[in-house]
Structure 1
């Protein structure tokens, strides 16, 4: 391999590696928001806690993407067989994590309707108390997703909380932010969010799962290019010179 071709491979390796850690950093920041904020609020609405597993695996692979991207952009890797081998090992681990996360995300995407079965029960047991975790989750979800009720605001008519309040209003978290004077009264339904939380929650979770599914082939293509580049660099390592020792 000529020096010019080797230099070109090093440049491509560093460029793609820089792209890797940037993408990994973006996924990490997005994953932190989804895992620590959204799921903390709506975890009571899912049948199984392990529905979050695809996002956790994707988050771990993103962390390794940052590590491998920083390693690949390091100039010393192009001349060190040890660093090249470690780099390839990290890429293999990332590929395994990404494929596993993608397979789990595909499986859970077809189970969303049954996974959200506890959503109706959470609304029916709403008390409006700030000390009740269930009520806090309902209010936080309605504000965050801009929704009201399971399917729409009329679902509140069948709850015990609605009857205890005299049947005049729904929780204030149902109020559309476009109407500052909204008090949640049912005689002014245009001031309430029109869509139910089940549809909004399904769309939000489906978006995350679809993102994980489609990231897998993209990561595979990028890693395939890196495998070929590192393979070329590893096969061109200079061999140690040997000398014949003659005893006198």
Structure 2
């Protein structure tokens, strides 16, 4: 789960220029914060196996309930989080039109996107020709071609797929992985909550004694 949360945060940091959904960062933070709480609850479960007492069971059950709420929220966010395709297309189109100055953060963002996802243009490399560029950036070049200059006439040296479908596929994979991790943990914790409730029902209140308030009355002896 921690890996899935960190992956969501990395995607948000690397590709935040291309997605308008702020819940991806919230989702990543929520899942990452769930991981240490899950370890703590596991430690409480070990404590219950040694000291089967009411306070330990109550604390464990409380931790399980908190985890259930956090993971249910994470699963819902992972299932519903998405970026608007039209908005992404508009942003990519705008960035590709402004591409040129190597010191510009937008130009660096486009190069970083194409190099990491091994893509070129929005839908494919021909988008650069449509936008009036005579060649594609060198970030579109496949790494196996060391002499690639981005010339559109040598398209076999360029990445064939566009960045928009690859970006969507990457996000779907991470969100799907996160969703099923949360669902799996959710099912396990439901069983843990049922077992804890059963143990609390079966465990006698041996840790508590009934105390009498006031002195005990004794009848006076006649002798």
Q: Same fold (TM over 0.5)?
A: yes
Aligned to 2:159: 193
Query: What is the RMSD computed on CA atoms of the aligned residues?
Result: 2.6
Whether the 8 Å CA contact 2:38–2:67 is kept in 1: the answer is yes
Aligned to 1:146: 118
Whether the 8 Å CA contact 1:77–1:84 is kept in 2: the answer is no
Aligned to 2:221: none
Aligned to 2:179: 213
More helix by share: 1
Question: Does the C-alpha gap of structure 1 residues 229 and 50 become closer, same or farther in structure 2, counting only changes over 3 Å?
Answer: closer
Length-normalised TM-score, structure 1? 0.74
Gaps of 5+ in 2: 219-223
Whether the 8 Å CA contact 1:150–1:198 is kept in 2: the answer is yes
Whether the 8 Å CA contact 2:114–2:163 is kept in 1: the answer is yes
Deviation at 1:194, TM superposition (A): 1.0
Aligned to 1:155: 127
One of 87, 100, 108 as aligned partner of 1:127: 100
The whole-number CA distance in structure 2 between the counterparts of 1:243 and 1:63 is 40
Length-normalised TM-score, structure 2? 0.81
Aligned to 1:31: 5
Question: Does the C-alpha gap of structure 1 residues 125 and 238 become closer, same or farther in structure 2, counting only changes over 3 Å?
Answer: same
Whether the 8 Å CA contact 2:8–2:27 is kept in 1: the answer is no
Deviation at 1:154, TM superposition (A): 0.9
Select between 44-53 and 172-181 the one with higher mean Cα deviation: 44-53
Whether the 8 Å CA contact 2:79–2:175 is kept in 1: the answer is yes
Which protein shows a greater Rg? Answer: 2
Gaps of 5+ in 1: 1-26
